[in-house]
């Protein structure tokens, strides 16, 4: 929902300020229509139905994977494409011999912060598409609200008064900004969205912002007032030469400077930085590169490595073998660096952020969902 439009519309109608809060509270609970907002006057509900769309985004396409991962392709009002993913995990789910029915397990969102991306990582197809623009806070929130409505509609009562005795709705309780775009280039709107995510059920400690290493944004996150949002760093190489080849932003912010910024964030926030390392066969997965990576990540209390199997797209890269991934992890752990291998999700629906847009001719982001896979549980 365009929250600025909502507030302006209510002000024009002479409505009290608390009406905007009432509408938002219903939206955050998963309301799918103004008719459900029974503490608003009926005439106002009808007026808002005509004047303020429930979402600032238009749903273009959806895909559902066999593992429960669900992906949506949206367009903004000015026709900018973006994607979001809902990852469902099994905890508490009921199963039959052939079908998994996701129910009360953890739900994690992967949200986009930009339409396209101005950075040109070589493995990232979004970088090759034309950069659109930063998304507004409302456009970011509407990605989350889309899935909140989806999860709530099956089990959640239409109003709070009907909740007694109802089966609890599955709870969306984690969020990663690992979709299209570089979140720290749109930090004001990302933080504005994060301020409202707790109303949807996502605590700041369960929210992760991923960056290619945009140092001004890392320092802002370290210095800002307010609760700590988790930080993830897309690293993908243990030396400047290879990292600059894979990620040209490294020419502007070299590896040593980025890691120093992460250490400043760690010192201020007392949380580990998640180091995302996409495993590219024959490129960055050699045993010697694991040793070099371990040497970079000091102190050991400041970093944890997520090794991410590559989700193949149309790029020239191939994923590392399972043996190579296991050897890489062992090399890190032998040197005291915590490391996990993340499960990939949604492969049967091209769940990498941007792949639906690519199929629609809008461009793609091969890396972003590989990064989103870092929200998956370690094997």
* d(C-alpha 330, C-alpha 304), whole Å: 14
Partners of 63 in beta bridges: 71
Task: Give the other-Cβ count within 10 Å of 269's Cβ.
Answer: 17
353 is catalytic: yes
Tell how many helices (H) and how many strands (E) occur in the chain.
13, 14
Contacts of residue 367, Cβ cutoff 8 Å, sequence gap at least 6 = 121, 123, 124, 126, 234, 278, 352
Q: From 182, 179, 183, 207, select the one nearest 195 (Cα to Cα).
A: 207
Select which of 60, 70, 83, 333 is catalytic. 83
Select which of 117, 194, 262, 353 is catalytic. 353
Is there a contact between 251 and 295 (Cβ–Cβ < 8 Å)? no
* d(C-alpha 347, C-alpha 178), whole Å: 17
User: What is the phi/psi pair of residue 311, to 5°?
Assistant: -90, 105
25 is catalytic: no
Using DSSP, state whether 319 is helix, strand or coil: strand
Active site residues: 83, 353
């Amino acid at each position: 929902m365009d929250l600025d439009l909502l507030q302006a519309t209510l002000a024009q109608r002479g409505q009290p300020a608390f009406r905007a809060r009432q509408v938002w509270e219903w939206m955050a609970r998963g309301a799918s229509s103004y008719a459900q907002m029974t503490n608003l006057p009926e005439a106002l509900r009808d007026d808002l139905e005509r004047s303020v769309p429930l979402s600032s985004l238009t749903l273009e396409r959806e895909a559902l994977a066999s593992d429960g991962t669900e992906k949506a392709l949206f367009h903004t009002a000015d026709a900018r494409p973006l994607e979001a993913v809902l990852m469902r995990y099994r905890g508490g789910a009921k199963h039959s011999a052939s079908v998994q029915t996701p129910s009360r397990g953890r739900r994690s969102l992967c949200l986009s912060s930009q339409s396209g991306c101005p950075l040109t990582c070589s493995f990232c197809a979004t970088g090759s598409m034309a950069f659109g623009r930063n998304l507004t806070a409302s456009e970011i929130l509407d990605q989350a609200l889309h899935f909140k409505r989806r999860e709530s509609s099956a089990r959640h009562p239409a109003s709070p008064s009907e909740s007694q005795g109802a089966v609890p709705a599955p709870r969306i309780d984690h969020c990663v900004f690992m979709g299209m775009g570089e979140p720290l280039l749109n930090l004001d709107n990302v933080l504005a969205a994060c301020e409202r995510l707790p109303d949807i059920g996502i605590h700041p400690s369960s929210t992760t912002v991923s960056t290619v290493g945009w140092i001004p944004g890392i320092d802002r996150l370290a210095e800002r007032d307010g609760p700590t949002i988790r930080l993830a760093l897309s690293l993908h190489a243990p030396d400047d030469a290879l990292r600059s080849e894979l990620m040209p932003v490294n020419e502007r912010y070299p590896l040593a400077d980025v890691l120093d910024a992460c250490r400043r964030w760690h010192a201020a926030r007392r949380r580990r930085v998640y180091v995302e390392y996409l495993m590219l066969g024959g490129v960055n997965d050699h045993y010697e590169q694991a040793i070099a990576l371990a040497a970079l990540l000091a102190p050991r209390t400041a970093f944890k490595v997520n090794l991410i199997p590559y989700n193949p797209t149309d790029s020239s890269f191939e994923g590392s073998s399972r043996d190579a991934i296991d050897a890489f992890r062992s090399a890190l752990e032998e040197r005291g660096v915590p490391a996990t291998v993340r499960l990939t999700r949604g492969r049967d629906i091209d769940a990498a952020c941007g792949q639906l847009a690519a199929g629609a001719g809008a461009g793609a982001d091969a890396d972003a969902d590989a990064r989103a896979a870092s929200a998956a549980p370690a094997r």
